[in-house]
Structure 1
Amino acid sequence: MKLKHFVAGAVLAGASFGAFAGDQTIDLTGITLGKTYSWTALEGDGILSGGKDVITFSGLTGTYKISVTVSAQEPLTLSTLSNLSGVAGSVVNGEYVFYSSKYTGLSPYVLTLVGAANGTDADYSGTFKVTAVPEPETYAMLLGGLALVGAVARRKAKKAA
């Protein structure tokens, strides 16, 4: 008799948990740098039912700056927004904003949203923009080019004088 109650209790406890949201993967292969992209997550998709959603940005190589803005519509609350290294985002005008100073492309860039869906119509949307970060060689070539232009201008000035 106790076994039946135990099994029934275990089944009810297991059924009380909502379905966990499938983590999202946003593939950035073939994107245009500097262009803004967006996504939307709806309550019907099971967002934040496990308390957090993980968004993985994949497909980048090299070094990039990624900026992400996530805005939540009522009745949804986001309490944390952070990246893989635990750097937290901040709230700006009711939106959570995260700026990655540098992403090296060695592993997927992961954004974690923690919060609660407080109603049936909860959803959130986000935008992200990826820009390339110039490598040190770029600046070296720029300075070398400026030096050459300066040398040519100086030579022309000497000939004219």
Structure 2
Amino acid sequence: MKLKSLLIGTVMAATSITSYAAGDSQSIPVVLNGSPAAGYSAHFGADHSVVGAFTDVFTFSPAVGPSLLNAWVQTMNLGGNHDIDFYSADLNGNALTFTPTGVFESGWLNPTWVSGPLVLTVYGISNSVSASYSGTLNIDPVPEPETYIMMLGGLGILSYIGRRRKKS
């Protein structure tokens, strides 16, 4: 009888550990608002209804050309309920900087040059069955080198015309 109780207890403990480790990971597509000329912005977030570690992957579309990007992720713990602790996060390999765990946690990515498809991966742990976090992503377009060449060419033409008028 003791062996049976021990076996049942071991199975239950292993199941709870597996449940805790598995968490509630998600792959979430996010559409960027804006345009290549004006820049993009997006709000994103995730809700977790399972206690345990998670890995959320946000895929932003459309892909962007050379751009300057910043990002922000945050969560708030209300008196021990709805608690999420962030382990780390990265956007296309660029690590976010996080505050220490506590009532209010946040992470940010200082302005960084990016290009191509954007993928944000957030690693953390949900400490309750009802927890969430949210974030924002802002992208400022960077002109192509051809734009600078055309601008310099235009300034050169204006300078030439100004000199011709000055001589006349």
- SS of 1:31 mapped into structure 2: strand
Deviation at 1:19, TM superposition (A): 5.1
Specify every segment of 5 or more residues in structure 2 that has no aligned partner in the other structure, as ranges.
78-82
1:61-72 equivalence runs, <5 A: 61-72=64-75
Q: Distance in 1 between matches of 2:27 and 2:46?
A: 11
- SS of 1:152 mapped into structure 2: helix
1:1-161 equivalence runs, <5 A: 13-14=14-15, 16-17=18-19, 20-28=24-32, 31-32=34-35, 33-44=38-49, 49-74=52-77, 75-85=83-93, 87-91=94-98, 94-99=105-110, 101-105=112-116, 108-159=117-168
TM-score scaled by length of structure 2: 0.71
Q: Distance in 2 between matches of 1:142 and 1:135?
A: 11
- SS of 1:119 mapped into structure 2: coil
Q: Percent identity?
A: 26
The one-letter amino acid paired with 1:156 is R
Deviation at 1:43, TM superposition (A): 2.7
Deviations 1:1-32 (CA, angstroms, capped at 9, x unpaired): x9xx989966874565155322111133x633
- SS of 2:146 mapped into structure 1: helix
TM-score scaled by length of structure 1: 0.73
Deviations 1:103-157 (CA, angstroms, capped at 9, x unpaired): 221xx32111112122244211101112222121111111111111111111111
Deviation at 1:58, TM superposition (A): 2.7
Specify every segment of 5 or more residues in structure 1 that has no aligned partner in the other structure, as ranges.
none
Name the CA shift for 1:109/1:36 in 2 (closer, same or farther; >3 Å): closer
Q: Distance in 2 between matches of 1:42 and 1:148?
A: 57
For these two proteins, the number of residue pairs brought into alignment is 150
Deviations 1:67-99 (CA, angstroms, capped at 9, x unpaired): 2111122122212121232x2112479531114
The one-letter amino acid paired with 1:134 is P
RMSD value, Cα: 3.1
